[in-house]
Chains A and B, each alone.
Chain A
Amino acid sequence: MLEQHLAALPIILPLIAAPIALILGRTVLSWGFATLVSGLAFILSWQLLSAALSEGVISYAVGGWAPPWGIELRVDAANAFVLLAVTAISTLVLVYSKESIEKEVKVANHALFYTAHLLCLAGLSGILITGDAFNLFVFLEISSLATYTLVSLASDRRCLTAAFRYLVMGTIGATFILIGVGLLYMKTGTLNMMDLAVRIDAYDSSRTINTGLAFIMVGVSIKLALFPLHMWLPPAYTHAPSAVTAFLASTATKVAVYVMIRFIFTVFGIDHVFVDMGMGLILMVLAVVAIFKCSYMATVQSNVKTILAYSSVAQIGYMILGLSLVSVAGLMASMIHIFNHALMKGALFMAVGAVFYRVGSVDIKAFAGLGRKMPLTMAAFTIAGLSIIGVPLTAGFVSKWYLVTAALEQGNWIVAALVLIGSLFAIIYIGRVLEAAYFQKLPESRKSENIKEVSWLMLVPMWVIVIANIYFGIDTSLTTEAASSASEWLFQTNNMLENSALENNVSEANVQEVSS
Chain B
Amino acid sequence: MSFIFDYYNYWIVVFLMMAGFYIVISANNLVKKIVGLNIFQTSVFMLYISMGKVTGGTAPIVVEGVTQYSNPLPHVLILTAIVVGVATTAVGLSLIVRIKQAYGTVEENEFENKDDAI
- Do A and B originate from a single complex? yes
CB distance from A238 to the nearest CB of B (A): 9
B residues 30-80 in Cβ contact with A at 8 Å: 30, 33, 37, 40-41, 44, 47-48, 51, 54, 71, 74, 77, 80
Measured CB to CB, the nearest residue on chain A to B77 is: A134
A165 at the interface (CB under 8 A from B): yes
Bound Cα distance from A182 to B44, whole angstroms: 9
Prevailing SS type, chain B contact patch = helix
Contact of A163 among B33, B44, B95 (CB under 8 A): B95
Most chain B Cβ neighbours within 10 Å, of A157, A239, A514, A516:
A157
Bound Cα distance from A182 to B117, whole angstroms: 35
> A168 touching B37 by the CB < 8 A rule?
yes
Assuming A163-B95, A164-B30, what are 16 further A-B pairs, CB within 8 angstroms?
Answer: A145-B91, A157-B103, A160-B103, A161-B103, A164-B95, A167-B88, A167-B91, A171-B37, A171-B88, A178-B81, A179-B44, A179-B47, A182-B44, A182-B74, A185-B74, A235-B116
Which residues from chain B contact A175 at a C-beta distance below 8 Å?
40-41, 44
CB distance from A237 to the nearest CB of B (A): 14
> B47 touching A141 by the CB < 8 A rule?
no
B102 at the interface (CB under 8 A from A): yes
Please name 11 pairs of A and B residues whose Cβ atoms are closer than 8 Å in the assembled complex, sorted by A. A138-B84, A145-B88, A149-B91, A158-B115, A164-B95, A172-B37, A182-B47, A185-B74, A186-B51, A235-B116, A514-B71
Measured CB to CB, the nearest residue on chain A to B92 is: A167
Prevailing SS type, chain A contact patch = helix
CB distance from B87 to the nearest CB of A (A): 6
CB distance from A231 to the nearest CB of B (A): 11
> B80 touching A138 by the CB < 8 A rule?
yes
Which residues from chain B contact A472 at a C-beta distance below 8 Å?
none
Which residues from chain B contact A171 at a C-beta distance below 8 Å?
37, 41, 88, 92
A residues 151-165 in Cβ contact with B at 8 Å: 152, 157-158, 160-165
A60 at the interface (CB under 8 A from B): no
Given A141-B88, A235-B116, A160 and B99 contact (CB-CB distance below 8 Å): yes
B4 at the interface (CB under 8 A from A): no
Bound Cα distance from A165 to B41, whole angstroms: 17
> A164 touching B88 by the CB < 8 A rule?
no
Bound Cα distance from A164 to B48, whole angstroms: 27
Which residues from chain B contact A516 at a C-beta distance below 8 Å?
54
Which residues from chain A contact B84 at a C-beta distance below 8 Å?
138, 141, 174
A148 at the interface (CB under 8 A from B): yes
CB distance from B72 to the nearest CB of A (A): 13
Bound Cα distance from A182 to B46, whole angstroms: 11
Measured CB to CB, the nearest residue on chain A to B17 is: A179
A residues 283-301 in Cβ contact with B at 8 Å: none
Which residues from chain A contact B37 at a C-beta distance below 8 Å?
168, 171-172
Which residues from chain A contact B92 at a C-beta distance below 8 Å?
164, 167-168, 171
Give the interface size class of chain B: 20 to 34
B24 at the interface (CB under 8 A from A): yes
Give the interface size class of chain A: 20 to 34
> B87 touching A145 by the CB < 8 A rule?
yes
Measured CB to CB, the nearest residue on chain A to B81 is: A178
Bound Cα distance from A152 to B102, whole angstroms: 12
Bound Cα distance from A157 to B98, whole angstroms: 9
B111 at the interface (CB under 8 A from A): yes
Closest 10 CB pairs of A and B: A157-B102, A158-B116, A141-B84, A161-B118, A186-B51, A160-B99, A164-B95, A165-B118, A171-B88, A160-B98
B96 at the interface (CB under 8 A from A): yes
Which residues from chain B contact A235 at a C-beta distance below 8 Å?
116
Bound Cα distance from A175 to B45, whole angstroms: 10
Measured CB to CB, the nearest residue on chain A to B87 is: A145
> B95 touching A152 by the CB < 8 A rule?
yes
Bound Cα distance from A149 to B30, whole angstroms: 17
> A161 touching B24 by the CB < 8 A rule?
no
> A160 touching B40 by the CB < 8 A rule?
no
Bound Cα distance from A158 to B118, whole angstroms: 9
Given A160-B98, A182-B44, A168 and B115 contact (CB-CB distance below 8 Å): no
B-facing mask of A164-202, CB < 8 A → 1, else 0? Answer: 110110011011001100100110000000000000000
Measured CB to CB, the nearest residue on chain A to B103 is: A157
CB distance from A348 to the nearest CB of B (A): 23
CB distance from A99 to the nearest CB of B (A): 25
> A185 touching B91 by the CB < 8 A rule?
no
Bound Cα distance from A172 to B44, whole angstroms: 11
B-facing mask of A472-514, CB < 8 A → 1, else 0? Answer: 0000000000000000000000000000000000000000001
Contact of B91 among A148, A158, A514 (CB under 8 A): A148
CB distance from B10 to the nearest CB of A (A): 10
Given A167-B95, A168-B37, A185 and B44 contact (CB-CB distance below 8 Å): no
Bound Cα distance from A202 to B91, whole angstroms: 41
Which residues from chain B contact A157 at a C-beta distance below 8 Å?
102-103, 115
A-facing mask of B82-100, CB < 8 A → 1, else 0? Answer: 0010011001100110110
Measured CB to CB, the nearest residue on chain B to A515 is: B51
Which residues from chain A contact B115 at a C-beta distance below 8 Å?
157-158
CB distance from B35 to the nearest CB of A (A): 12
Bound Cα distance from A162 to B102, whole angstroms: 13
Measured CB to CB, the nearest residue on chain B to A235 is: B116
A residues 233-268 in Cβ contact with B at 8 Å: 235, 239
Which residues from chain B contact A148 at a C-beta distance below 8 Å?
91, 95
Which residues from chain A contact B33 at a C-beta distance below 8 Å?
168
Which residues from chain B contact A165 at a C-beta distance below 8 Å?
118
